[in-house]
Structure 1
Amino acid sequence: MAPTSAPWRTDECPSPAGTAPEPVQHLREPTLSRPAASAGLWALIIAGGYAAGLAADAFGVPAPYLLSSLLTGAVLALCGLVRDRLPAPANRASQALVGALMGSYLTPAALVSAAPVALPLTAVTAATIGLSLAVAWLLARGGRVGRSSAVLGMVPGGSAAIVTCADELNADVRLVAFTQYLRVGLVATAAPLAAHWMTSASPATGGHPAAGGGGAGSGLLPLVAGSDQLTGLATLAAITLAGSWAGRRLRVPTPLLMGPMLVALAATLSGVVPGFAPVGVLRNIVFVLVGLDVGVRFTRRTLLRMRRLLPPILICMAAVCLGCAGLAWVFAGVTGTPFNDAYLATTPGGINAVLATAVSSHADVALVSTVQSLRLLVVLLATPLIVRLLAPRWAGSAGVPGGGGGGRQVIRPPGGALRRD
């Protein structure tokens, strides 16, 4: 049978004699023949995102480099001017540098200060995952979204890793990617505004040392924290390279982020490594790359394809975000933590964007990074097991045959085996 549109393939499933063969649709990633954007074009886009960040910073926009570059990338993608993702080297570099930045904030003093609230932090992490699963169950009950796809789309944290394992868990890769990055985009947009509003409403909650605001400073230097810039830059390069290599060899979740973070954490705890955390222009460029990487994912093609699913997905995302804000309020009341810090620590996903917001809003970056990292590890380690465990049970309770796909067409050929699209 001839193929249909680009992202779909139609096969024939064996059927009893005398009946027409039943089509089974197999979901594929779209294979579009489109030219890759040149390195020069991406350099201009990154420079434009940085210039937009400078303008936004001048007007007092919270997390200016992140938000402005996110909007820049989204506009370019929706207008069809950019049809490619951020180049892989830039994406890898931004993840590794964000990991090194996160690890640099987890100082011995910060970990000691977070120790008294370890039990509430664990409870909030478990409650956030439980809330996401409950909302995913409601989304799957509507019948438009598969059970595996609903779980993988709603769990907070580790968007890239979750999308990577979607195919293995019998989920719709494009739907999971769309849901994950839509949530990241919403969080990246809403968190800076909410944090700015809360900080303005309660000025006393600010004042955490966050290594400066969102501006680039008075000049191009410094690029890293510490007096010796060359030594600091060499140390930063060594940490990112060694961390990326170790993360891949040890097969940790999101190795390009977690590997450098763990190596930077060890270097920070040792107390003998010179200052290496990105600051000033270098940190702003990292946030521009993070924003562009999120923004360019929202193409017209993706939005048109998912338009019928957009209302229920947005409602479920709003429920998760409001629920996490409620958990932040409880956590703040129990531990005495400023609500701004608790809100950023429990915001569902977008760890890079949340860290950028924490830095720009002078929040307790160590606390935010600790909570977000803990949840990231738990989610990435537990999600495959949760999907395999819950999807068949949800299918049985909903009266739908099959486990993972939910909403996929299920065909029973004469041999009795089930096939899904």
Structure 2
Amino acid sequence: MKPDHSEEPPVPVATGIGRRHPALQWLCLLILSVFLAGILELTGIPAALLMGPMVAGAIIGMNGGTIRLPRLPFLSAQALIGTMIAETISPGILVTFFGNWPLFLAIVFSVIAMSTLSGYIISRLNILPGTTAIWGSSAGAATSMLVMADAYGADTRLVAFMQYLRVVFVAAAASLVARFWAGVDGVGPAIVWFGPIHFVPFLETLALALVGGCLGKWLRIPAGVFLVPFLIGSALSVSGMLVIEIPEWLLAISYALLGWNIGLGFTRPILAHARRALVPTIVSILVLMAFSGLLAFILVRMLGIDPLTAYLATSPGGMDSIAIIAASSNVDVPFVMALQTARLLMVMAVGPSLARFVASRTVSRD
């Protein structure tokens, strides 16, 4: 008999830092984020401006913090990051994809199959109900998986916990691999935080992020707020119709907002609600990451690309976090984004049907 996750937990009493005024909580979060990002920058960890706020948000959330990032700043950050990544895309991305599409599809479907198998095993062990386990284990964009999970009756709190825990694991592992295994020094050249701004390209870039993000939201495309500005911006940038310009200070804010949105989701009530699934979830994440590493090794041997590019390309989400780490490292960003985008689209295409099929199989055998 499966555990009953239908009852809502009691409303938690504010504890720890949650007893403080929200303004003070935001101030603590900001100070802690700057401190941790600075430490990670000094150690040469790529994407320190993402990882520092992510860890800071988790610390605040797990110590009773009650603040949450409003939806609009988070979506704005996604649109800007998608636009920023578009600047790195070259015409060779299509040549790369179509020249190796059988291998790309095989890798994408292998990751989907492994993640689905993990969800199936968690469900068969009666740790979580079928749909919750499947959506929580699905290797797609975390935000999109939450929307779909809610539509198909899964426990969205557990799905959110499983998805964002994987995002944290994958992002942390990718940063550490880039720094200590691949030898990528995240410090790099000095960053000009407040350099001169060319206002026409800057305004055009903001317009692209705004229009593309709104279009992705309006069309209800999974991860559309990130994906549509990325795709439109790539086309305009490659064709020479647009010069993308985003100042470093605005990128830093976008990275921090994304990190806060992930980190603040790790609250005491959610951790308490998910405690039974914690160890199996971590094991399934580590197995999926190891499997992705094996796929990366295959890419290195068959295509001769560098190991870090292969590792980031096969990493099982989240797409926006991997994009930031790739942009901060000396890798083939178009290759990484080609494979990541293909995986996202395939998950969106087959995910609902696959989840229903596997969930029905787990129910029918109980």
Match of residue 210, structure 2, among 220, 231, 241: 241
- Cα 1:367/1:315, change in 2 over 3 Å: same
Match of residue 133, structure 1, among 116, 127, 151: 116
Match of residue 92, structure 2, among 97, 101, 109: 109
Which residue identity is paired with 2:253?
I
Identity of aligned residues (%): 28
- Distance in 2, matches of 1:72 and 1:104, equals 29
- Distance in 1, matches of 2:195 and 2:13, equals 42
- The equivalent of 1:263 in structure 2 is 232
Match of residue 157, structure 2, among 174, 177, 183: 174
| Secondary structure of the structure 1 residue equivalent to 2:6 | strand
In the alignment, does 2:341 pair up with 1:358? Answer: no
In the alignment, does 2:295 pair up with 1:327? Answer: yes
Within-5 A mapping of 1:150-189: 150-189=133-172
Q: Would you say the 8 A contact 1:105–1:365 is kept in 2? A: yes
Which residue identity is paired with 2:194?
L
- Cα 1:105/1:30, change in 2 over 3 Å: farther
Q: Would you say the 8 A contact 1:92–1:256 is kept in 2? A: yes
Match of residue 194, structure 2, among 215, 220, 226: 220
Match of residue 68, structure 1, among 37, 49, 52: 52
Q: Deviations over 1:306-330 (max 9, x none)?
A: 2222111111111111111111111
Residue 45 of structure 1: how far off its partner (Å): 3.2
- The equivalent of 2:173 in structure 1 is 190
Residue 104 of structure 1: how far off its partner (Å): 2.4
Gaps spanning 5+ residues in structure 1: where? 1-23, 207-211, 223-227, 401-421
Which residue identity is paired with 2:108?
T
Which residue identity is paired with 1:174?
R
Within-5 A mapping of 1:392-411: 392-396=360-364, 399-400=365-366
- Cα 1:308/1:32, change in 2 over 3 Å: closer
Match of residue 200, structure 2, among 209, 217, 231: 231
Match of residue 127, structure 2, among 144, 148, 164: 144
Q: Would you say the 8 A contact 2:93–2:338 is kept in 1? A: no
Q: Would you say the 8 A contact 1:57–1:64 is kept in 2? A: yes
- Distance in 1, matches of 2:216 and 2:331, equals 28
TM-score normalised according to structure 2 size: 0.89
Residue 251 of structure 1: how far off its partner (Å): 2.5
Residue 48 of structure 1: how far off its partner (Å): 4.6
- Larger Rg computed on CA atoms: 1
- Distance in 2, matches of 1:213 and 1:117, equals 33
- Cα 1:291/1:248, change in 2 over 3 Å: closer
Q: Deviations over 1:271-330 (max 9, x none)?
A: 121233x35332222222221111111112222222222111111111111111111111
- Distance in 1, matches of 2:93 and 2:306, equals 15
TM-score normalised according to structure 1 size: 0.78
- The equivalent of 2:357 in structure 1 is 389
What value does the CA root-mean-square deviation take over the aligned residues? 2.6
- Cα 1:346/1:306, change in 2 over 3 Å: same
> Which shifted more, 47-56 or 116-125?
47-56
Q: Would you say the 8 A contact 2:127–2:276 is kept in 1? A: no
- The equivalent of 1:87 in structure 2 is 70
- Distance in 1, matches of 2:75 and 2:362, equals 37
User: Matched residue pairs, number?
Assistant: 359
- Distance in 1, matches of 2:255 and 2:193, equals 18
> Which shifted more, 128-137 or 249-258?
249-258
In the alignment, does 2:330 pair up with 1:345? Answer: no
Q: Deviations over 1:149-171 (max 9, x none)?
A: 11101111211111112122121
